[in-house]
Amino acid sequence: MKQKLWVFLIVIILIAAGCSSPTKTDKKDNQDKAENAQKSKAKYHRIISLMPSNTEILYQLGLGDDIVGVSTVDDYPKDVKHKQKFDAMKLNKEQLLKAKPDLIVAHESQKGMDGKVLQSLKDKGVKVIYVKDAKNLNEIYDTFKQIGKVTGRESQADTLVYDTKHRVEAVLKEVPKHEKKPSVFLEVSHEPEIYTAGKNTFFNYMLEELHAENSFKDVEGWKKVSKESIIKHHPDILVTTEGISRSDYLKVIRKRGGFENLEAVKKGRIEAVDGDKISRPGPRIDQGLAELRDAIYRNE
């Protein structure tokens, strides 16, 4: 929408500059020229994004039409369903080369998993950049700027940072006042093993921003935990980020022996949030924060 508005303003300026009584054909020609000029500013026109959050950033920077491929787990925005899919966990060199990318936006973890494949593409002239795993909001904003700089969309990236900051601030201002920080257990997955997020993760950071306490702040990173250890940590609220419904999560909890004695279960403090919105360090992070805030303080 912003790009269309920009094009419209350019057309108006061209008309005011000296085109008397322009015809519809003249207007169309001017609009096409403006669009082509904007397009030519982009440094890359065949982009492959191997991480959903980076894909969302590229779209927000107005580069959706330049994306030729995304990861197999990309699902937003809806337009990605029309893009070629690549298994980001096991990259295929020939498949990537066949897509003829001029830019690949990868995650820093892929240096270890598929570093040789990506390096071979770099050797053939393909630009490859690695985006690190953001652990706080400032690092998310740095990612916006990093991708904006590489793609020649610095001004759009600055605008995205500004807009996202203000939306996040609005969410945080609505955190209810409370005397004691609620203890929250964030369940990342429940099968085949139970996993949660400890300190030095973005999930832990979000809880701190929402003035809540991670019940597993005593562990580092993403950890497998037992049912017994969850009971021992006695969280006030249980929250799943798996993308399942609250009713489905409740069914999972009811099958766990001993959980019926948890205060969280007794008080019905079992919640579900959209895992994509809070796990993807991208433009929708304010929506994820809002969902998590509302889940934690639903009864406040």
More confidently predicted of 112 and 163: 163
Query: Which tens digit of pLDDT belongs to each residue from 47-58?
Result: 999 999 999 999
pLDDT category of residue 9 using cuts at 50, 70 and 90: very low
pLDDT at 31: 52
Q: Using an 8 Å Cβ cutoff, are 270 and 250 in contact?
A: yes
pLDDT at 14: 33
pLDDT at 275: 86
User: What is each CA distance from 172 to 47, 125, 167, in whole angstroms?
Assistant: 34, 44, 9
Find tokens 């020649």 and name the residue.
152
Our measurement of the distance from residue 262's CA atom to the centroid of its chain's CA atoms, rounded to an integer in Å, reads: 33
Q: Using an 8 Å Cβ cutoff, are 253 and 266 in contact?
A: no
Residue 166 has pLDDT above 90, yes or no: yes
Domain annotation for the chain: domains and CATH numbers: 47-172 (3.40.50.1980), 177-297 (3.40.50.1980)
pLDDT at 42: 65
Residue 39 has pLDDT above 90, yes or no: no
pLDDT category of residue 22 using cuts at 50, 70 and 90: very low
Query: Where on the phi/psi map is residue 125: left (φ > 0), alpha (ψ -120 to 50), or beta?
Result: left
Is this prediction's pTM over 0.85?
no
